[in-house]
Amino acid sequence: MTYTYHYSSPLGGITLSSNGTELTGLWFDGQKYFGSTLLKKCEEKSLPIFEQSMLWLDIYFSGQAPDFTPPLRMQTTPFRKAVWEILLTIPFGKTMTYGEIAQRIVNQKGLSKMSPQAVGGAVGHNAISLIIPCHRVVGKNGNLTGYAGGIEKKVQLLILEKTDMSSFFVPK
């Protein structure tokens, strides 16, 4: 069974999903790929995993870095999971480029090269936004691109984290 719960954030509604013990999804309502891991039959229910996730969100939206990660279940391909695990290592208030992530995959897997565009596809399909911080990934020249929740939210999240925005380009 898949369970859902709703959270009201300063940036809009968020839908959370769980298998009952682990968080399986977290999306801004209406974002691209919304509900990509949801089964057709879901039950809205208050669960300890949602309480833990909402505590994480409360701390995050207060401008602080949460010191824990709720239990996560990444329901995805092995490649996307490898990318998402790298995203989990990006510190609060910092960013990483698609190319840097690609290089880490190259080093981990012993490959000769990896396309930053392939990484971008994996980042864009992140089903557990915010906690797996895909908003911290930027283009090689500081382009703020590719956030499924929208560029405006990406900018707001980076500002919330007090990220140095001086070298970033925000597309119009």
- Residues marked active site are found at 134
105: Cβ contacts below 8 Å, ≥ 6 apart: 82, 83, 86, 111, 114, 119
Main-chain dihedrals φ then ψ at residue 25, nearest 5 degrees: -160, 150
Q: Find the helix or strand (DSSP H, E) in which 122 lies.
A: helix 116-124
DSSP, collapsed to helix, strand or coil, labels residue 135 as helix
According to DSSP, the residues that pair with 29 across neighbouring strands are none
Main-chain dihedrals φ then ψ at residue 128, nearest 5 degrees: -125, 65
State the chain's maximal CA–CA distance in angstroms: 47
**Amino acid, single-letter form, for residue 78:** P
| CA 160/CA 154 separation, integer angstroms | 10
Query: Does residue 101 contact residue 119 with C-beta atoms inside 8 Å?
Result: yes
